[in-house]
Structures are given as C-alpha cells and as structure tokens.
Amino acid sequence: MIASNFPAFATKGTFDLGRHVYSDSGWELSSVSFSARESGRGVNDDVALVTAVLQKDRKATAEFVNTYTDSVYAFIRRRLSPRHDLVDDLVQEVFIAAWENLTSFRGTSPLRAWLLGIARHKIEDYFRRLLQSAQSLEPEAAEELPASELDMDAIADRKRTEQRAQQVLADLPEHYRVALQWRYWEKRSAREMAEATGRSEKAIERLLARAREQFRRRWLA
C-alpha cells in the first residue's frame, strides 16, 4: 500500500504546506476521539463544572479529571510519539496549568478545546526547548543542503501513510523528528520556529533540510 502511494509524492518535489488542515474544528479535534463521558456535554455543563472546580468542590474536580484526561492524553501522546515516556508529565502539566488559569475560561468554546489549546502550547514548549538545545542547528562549513524528492505535506496529510510516517519519524534522531513534527504536523513556519527557539530562520531551514533528507532515506529504505 505504501509503495503504491510513493510515486505520487516523489513526482511533486514540493514542500508546500498550505493545504494541511489544522484547526480546532478540523484535523486537530478530529484526531482525538471523544470519550463516552464527554459526549453530550454542552458548554453550560462545562461552565457549571468549571465554577464548581473553582469553588474547590473535590467531586467536581474528580469529574473534571475523569472527563477530560483521555482527550488530553491522546492529543499529547500522538504528537510526542515515540517519546511516550514524556506524555504523563506533560498531561499533568496541562491540568495544573488549567487549574491556574481556570478563571480565564469564559465558556465561549468547549472546555475540551480550551484544554487542548493548553496542551498544544505545552507540546510546542517541548519542541522549542529541544531545538534550542540541539547542537546540529549550527551551520556546517561547505554544507550542501539535500534536495528532497518527497512531498512532506502529502505524507502528513494522507491517512493511509500516516502510520508509516510515524514509524519513520520514530526512527529519526530526536531533533530531526521534532523539527519535522513541529513544521509539518503542527503547521508552524520556519520563521515561527526560529522566533520560538532563538535560532536564525536559515538555521531552521538547514535543520529541516537535513531532517527531510534523513526522513527521505528512511522512507525509501
């Protein structure tokens, strides 16, 4: 199945990412299943629950945890794959941050989306820290950037290749994997990544080029 898909990516020779859908109402939310506890909840239920949690009602706090942990866990686990060892701590950080900022929840969007927004920030914090500390972003003398033939966007978009892509990503060195995930799965531009990490845009582009080349080699292997 993968092999038959490959020529379609290989012939395009582009890294344009404009088509990938990534919004609270689209790919992001559809990528995480609703738990049975979440289904049927309305915004009014969320506001009532948040109010009770802020009043330090311990049973409401238990309901809050029991209702939303599965979604946050799945959201983070998917994006940190294969670093499953980091997932639990990050999920806990999301809930602590949620408690610290719960007064800012206005009920204009579902509580689940609000929590996943915090989760996304936490994931990007991890990406940023990792790339900030990656030594290999420094320019190398007379480096020739590889020209990849793969359409990373198409690979990231296609459900059928998603699993294979995740396997290939999992085999990459961590800073390459994070760079590709941040750029192509989280839809951040090289400029945004550069600003977040304090690196130059050119350094990020070089890193991405090397990461894509590593990805390509493993994809074709």
Partner 1 sequence: MSEGFRAPSRLKSRIYSALLERQREDGPLLSLSEVKARGRRLCVFEQLVQIAPVGESAKQPNLCRVCHARALAENIENAPVYWPGCPYAQFQNR
Q: Give the interface with partner 1 as residue ranges (CB under 8 A).
A: 27, 30-33, 35, 52, 55-62, 64-66, 69-70, 72-74, 77-78, 88, 91-92, 95-96, 99-100, 159, 162
Q: Do 107 and 50 form a contact (C-beta atoms < 8 A)?
A: yes
Q: Give residue 23's identity as a one-letter amino acid code.
A: S
Measured from the CB of residue 93, what is the shortest distance to partner 1 in angstroms? 10
Handedness of CA 99, 50, 47, 26 (dihedral sign): positive
Of 15 and 34, which has the nearer Cβ to partner 1? 34
Q: How far apart are the C-alpha atoms of 205 and 137, rounded to whole Å?
A: 9
Smallest gap from Cβ 34 to partner 1, in A, equals 9
Nearer to partner 1, 69 or 109 (CB): 69
Q: Whole-number minimum distance, CB 61 to partner 1, in Å?
A: 5
- Judged by DSSP in three states, 1 sits in coil
Nearer to partner 1, 79 or 206 (CB): 79
* Contacts with 16 (C-beta within 8 Å, 6 or more apart), sequence order: 153
C-beta of 162 vs 205, nearer to partner 1: 162
Q: What angle do CA 117, 212, 91 make, to 5 degrees?
A: 25
